Amino acid sequence: MARGMIRGMVRYKNRVPVSGAIIILERMVKVFNEELKEEDWEGVYLGYAETNMHGEFCFSVPDNTVTYRVKVFDNHHE
């Protein structure tokens, strides 16, 4: 299992960096949806980070062969 890194930058539509946004990292796992009788995907929480003054964030991930989801939350709307 090879480790990996997920990096990114968050900006507003006017390209200004978003400082202090909360970034949530989830690992995506397959689950069976009994109601629909089909496979679906579900996110498992791995951790969070906060963007720096340049809007940048970074996560070290334990396995670069699985799918991850990144969620961004910003309460300082510009």
Contact yes or no for 61/50 (Cβ under 8 A): no
Cα–Cα dist 10/33, whole Å: 33
DSSP-H helix ranges across 1-78:
none
Residue type, 24: I
Range in 2-6, 36-40, 48-52 the model is least confident about: 36-40
CA 69 to each of CA 36, 38, 58, 59: distance values in angstroms, whole numbers, following the listed order: 23, 21, 13, 12
pLDDT of 32 reads: 85
What average pLDDT does this structure show over 38-43?
A: 89
Q: Is residue 45's pLDDT more than 70?
A: yes
Structural domains of the chain sorted by starting position, each given as residue range(s) with its CATH number in brackets: 4-73 (2.60.40)
Q: Is residue 78's pLDDT more than 70?
A: no
What average pLDDT does this structure show over 29-41?
A: 85
Residues facing residue 33 across a β-bridge: 38
